[in-house]
């Protein structure tokens, strides 16, 4: 490791210097995390040949940010403290704009995007309706259903509190 280079990084990036240094050496390139993320965002939003374009640019999601915006938010959200930082759009149907992005853990971002996926939500709703039918048919206690839904909701990343659970009319 070149001491002069890491010291330059410490002067330039402060607390984030070690993270950025490790990121660049691990990824084997000269790209900073926000530059690499910016290139990925632009590809998903603007290039129909890129995998994932149909979920972003194909749906009308625009890239209205620059690498400088991503750098600002990287330091604003202290993304260097995260294990695997990832950019999240606060409004999933909105554009990548400065007021609509934040850096969060990749695992949390993946979990939230799974919940926003219409097929997954539909599968969850269908499963819930199936459980209600079983309660009606076998005269299960409502609390058995709540426990079963809670287990499923943890897997789906939902909280049971947000569900309006009512006993089925049999």
Tens-digit pLDDT profile for residues 3-48: 546 666 666 677 777 777 676 666 555 578 888 899 999 999 999 9
Other Cβ atoms less than 10 A from the Cβ of 84: the count is 12
**What sign results for the dihedral spanned by CA atoms 26, 30, 35, 37?**
negative
Q: What does the alpha-carbon distance between residue 41 and residue 150 come to, in Å, rounded to a whole number?
A: 35
> Per-residue confidence at 132, pLDDT binned at 50, 70, 90?
confident
pTM here is 0.58
Q: What does the alpha-carbon distance between residue 3 and residue 80 come to, in Å, rounded to a whole number?
A: 21
In the 8-state DSSP scheme, what is residue 140? -
Contact by Cβ (8 Å): 87, 37: yes
Q: What is the pLDDT of residue 65?
A: 93
In the 8-state DSSP scheme, what is residue 160? G
> For the chain, how many residues are written?
170
């Amino acid at each position: 490791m070149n001491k002069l280079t890491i010291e330059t990084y410490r002067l330039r990036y402060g607390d984030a210097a070690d993270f950025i240094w490790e990121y660049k050496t691990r990824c084997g390139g000269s790209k900073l995390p926000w530059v690499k993320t910016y290139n990925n965002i632009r590809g998903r939003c603007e290039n129909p040949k890129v995998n994932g374009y149909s979920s972003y640019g194909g749906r009308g999601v625009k890239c209205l940010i620059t690498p400088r915006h991503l750098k600002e938010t990287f330091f604003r959200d202290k993304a260097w403290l995260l294990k695997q930082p990832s950019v999240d759009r606060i409004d999933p149907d909105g554009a990548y704009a400065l007021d609509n992005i934040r850096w969060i853990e990749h695992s949390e971002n993946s979990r939230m995007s799974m919940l926003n996926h219409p097929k997954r939500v539909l599968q969850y709703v269908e499963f819930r309706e199936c459980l209600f039918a079983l309660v009606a048919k076998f005269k299960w206690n409502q609390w058995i259903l709540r426990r079963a839904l809670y287990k499923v909701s943890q897997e789906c990343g939902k909280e049971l509190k947000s569900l309006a659970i009512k006993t089925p009319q049999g």
